[in-house]
Amino acid sequence: MIIARLAWSSLINRRVTSLLTIFAIALSIILLLGVEKVRVGSKAGFLNTISGTDLIVGARSGQIQLLLYSVFRMGNATNNISMETLNDIKKRPEVKWIVPISLGDSHRGYRVMGSTVTYFDHYRYRRNTKLEFDAGKPFDDLFEAVIGAEVAAKLGYTIGSEIVVAHGAGRVALGAKHKDKPFIVAGILAPSGTPVDRTVHVSLRAIEAIHVGWEGGTSPRGKQARSESEVREMKLEPRVVTAAYVGLKSKIGIFSLQGFINNYKEEPVTAILPGVAFAQLWSLVGSAETALIAISMMVVFTAFLGMIISILGSLNERRREMAILRAIGARPLQVFILFVAEAAVLALVGILLGMGLLYLIIFITWPMIEQASGLYLELSWPRSQEIVYILIIMAGGIVAGAIPAIRAYKMSLSDGLTIKT
């Protein structure tokens, strides 16, 4: 107890140096735990880009490829799947719901996706969070569209804005547009931090409508062209789609249904578990987190190095202080403990200050961060990995204090009382 009071008094006496050291440790804590929270948040957000969907069905291909085009709207499918196949899957007793999606067109660099209105009911993200509308409603008319938050923000669209869909995606879409059949924005989705924000949603019937006469892959001319009023009178039932999201009545039936789909003899199709595919994809793209943690650890090491230099630099000034302590009966071990205690107090106060500032920063900025980047930073008690980092930093602070403490331990009483010239 006496050692603790002496350590605190010594730190108060050297308050400027102590505050600078505490501030350096606090900054390192903010960086290290901040990077950890960003890492955990980004991974959780990535793995929960789609939630509540038990299987994703598409043409026979690799599971990462299927995940990329069906969820992230990246790349293209190797083939389409027929509605007859989806109807056979829907008849299975394990299936609760199925939502088909159709990809292939775009609008000013954003993918256009056809689906049914049930898409807005069943699509979930981030631990079963439902899609919400910032404005408007789901599409109802044949030529109505629902756009993601980023599409609305970047292109300046509002309810009632007109959208012209381009045929194909990327460079292919530059020369061919469905100008004769524009869409009207009926709804704008709230930001979700998922690819939904970058998607234009229309109905499957609308996808069929704008492609009437495009069977050859080029813009229809002459008798092949159909006006908007003409296509409204047609029976626009899709024959093929790109992929489908499947929800089951019970998780128990996942593998039996997956086996049925993967061995389906009428058409080469495959079913993947989103969680497994996400984990495999993260193992490829998530390696940058290791570099971030390494950089943060170097910052922590720099803070401790500053602590060592600070305490070592003060040793010469404190020679008489130590000599007096020795003169009144303090043993060398007690002097050693005093220096270690000072370092421990610096580390502990720096940790508490850093954690407090970090949580305050997250509390103030997380709505803006989530809206700008889709990154969800959860305000929660420190996770096990964060606790490990805190304990490592605390132990590192004690070790950093032990280095100058060893030197103080070795200083003799006569060295402290002798004035050197």
Distance between CA atoms of 75 and 213, rounded to whole angstroms?
25
Say yes or no to pLDDT of 66 above 80. yes
pLDDT band per the 50, 70, 90 thresholds, residue 58: very high
Distance between CA atoms of 350 and 22, rounded to whole angstroms?
4
Amino acid at 13: N
Distance between CA atoms of 107 and 386, rounded to whole angstroms?
43
In the chain, domain spans:
2-46+288-417, 55-272
Q: Which two tokens stand for residue 26?
A: 């606090």
- If we measure between CA atoms, which residue out of 234, 186, 201, 210 comes closest to residue 118? 201
The pLDDT tens digits of the residues spanning 379-399 come to: 778 888 888 888 888 887 788
Distance between CA atoms of 203 and 115, rounded to whole angstroms?
5
Strand 124-125 to 95-107 pairing: unpaired
DSSP element (H, E) containing 241: strand 240-241
pLDDT band per the 50, 70, 90 thresholds, residue 415: low
Q: What share of the chain is helix, strand, coil (3-state, %, to 5)?
A: 55, 15, 30
pLDDT band per the 50, 70, 90 thresholds, residue 288: low
Q: Which two tokens stand for residue 281?
A: 């994809």
Helix (H, G, I), strand (E, B) or coil at 327: helix
Say yes or no to pLDDT of 420 above 80. no
**pLDDT given for residue 213 in this prediction:** 67
DSSP characters over 195-238: GGGGEEEEEHHHHHHHTTT-TTSS---GGG---HHHHHTS----
Degrees, nearest 5: CA angle 16-18-23: 95
The pLDDT tens digits of the residues spanning 103-133 come to: 988 998 899 999 999 999 999 988 788 999 9
The predicted model scores a pTM of 0.74
Residue 162, beta-bridge partner list: 184
